[in-house]
Structure 1
Amino acid sequence: MTYSVIRVRATPGASRSGHRGNVLVVAGIAVAAWISFGRHLFGIGGDLTIIYAATLGVIFAALLVFTGLAVRRTARRGFETRAITYAFFLVSGVSGLLLGLTLPDSTPRGLQTIISGPTQPALDIAIGIANPLGVIGIATAIIALVLSIRDSRGRITLVESWGDEDDGALVDPA
């Protein structure tokens, strides 16, 4: 008995357009832009914007855009993206949106966030929530990227085959 590994397509030979992957790319860019520049929409953009754009914005954009590209590649190859991949992408996106609400920025009135403004203790609470949201967002984005890359390679199935031709090679006739 021999075993071989094959990659199985969800719908053999039928590749799709990858529209979901394109939507994820746009969503990833939107989340990164929100984290980087969302405070400017509320008039509280400040000196920390460039730092957020160069660090958190770039990290979120890279992870979420590459995840979207992998999902698009998965569809074009005819494989299926698992629901857990979308779930991790969604958790990362929601964490990024909430992070944009709670990130403080340095303004002439002092530190402010979108949801708290400069008032205490809401400012301290928002800042305290921002760090875990960032960690959760980046961690789930990494997991979504890894899962989407695995999905793009297809599902692996183990196939058994029975045959005497392989058994003969193992026996020495001498």
Structure 2
Amino acid sequence: MSLGRWLFGIGGDLTWWYVPAIGLTYAVLSWWIGHRMAITQRRGRRTGRAVWVALILSWVCAIGFGFTVPDRVGDELISIVSLAAGSAFSTEMSIALCNPLGIVSFTLAFIALGFAIANGRDPRPEEDELFDTDSGEGSGMVPHPLA
């Protein structure tokens, strides 16, 4: 997302903005998701399918963003896709696609983080467990709300 265009020889001025603003932020977010998944596994639970699906889709969008985000080389904007296609239309289309792909990528990463946090939490006690007779709190029945 941030440094990949150097591999294609089109690294420019904007890369120095992409690295801290996009690349580092996405790396920290991905690390946080992995940390929450590790907590879930340490607690003896299974990481849910929703975390994996959201994370994989986020990375697919992030890779798409990396291919379409433009960089300033000389006096023109060039993306990896427009470099490969070589037309002005592909440059405009890649610029049009990069923002939605970046937004969807970060959104899906935050969704994956939310699912990972939810997977690692302890289950909520059932209502019957809250009013169990072993705790010495009355008859063990839930009081009627209108009583």
- TM normalised by structure 1 equals 0.71
Match of 2:64 in 1: 98
Residue type of the alignment partner of 2:139: D
Distance 1:52 1:104 in 2: 10
SS in 1 for 2:128: strand
1:144 aligns with 2:116: no
Match of 2:91 in 1: 123
Deviation sequence 1:117-141 (CA, Å, 0-9, x none): 2621110000000000011001111
Judging by fraction of residues, say which structure has more strand: 1
Residue type of the alignment partner of 1:74: T
Residue type of the alignment partner of 1:145: L
SS in 2 for 1:47: coil
| Shift, 1:60, TM fit | 0.9
Q: Which moved more, 1:106-115 or 1:149-158?
A: 149-158
Determine which of 8, 19, 26 is the counterpart of 1:53.
Answer: 19
What is the root-mean-square deviation of aligned Cα atoms in Å?
Answer: 2.3
Match of 1:167 in 2: 139
SS in 1 for 2:72: strand
Percent of aligned pairs sharing the same letter: 32
Q: Which moved more, 1:124-133 or 1:51-60?
A: 51-60
Match of 1:85 in 2: 51
Residues 133, 140 of structure 2: 8 Å contact kept: no
1:113 aligns with 2:85: no
Residues 12, 71 of structure 2: 8 Å contact kept: yes
Distance 1:70 1:41 in 2: 32
SS in 1 for 2:80: coil
| Shift, 1:63, TM fit | 1.1
How many residue pairs end up in the alignment?
A: 136
Distance 1:121 1:156 in 2: 54
Distance 1:54 1:131 in 2: 17
Residue type of the alignment partner of 1:43: G
Determine which of 15, 32, 36 is the counterpart of 2:2.
Answer: 36
1:158 aligns with 2:130: no
Residue type of the alignment partner of 2:114: V
SS in 1 for 2:13: coil
Judging by fraction of residues, say which structure has more helix: 2
Q: Which runs of 5+ in 2 are unaligned?
A: none
Q: Which runs of 5+ in 1 are unaligned?
A: 1-34
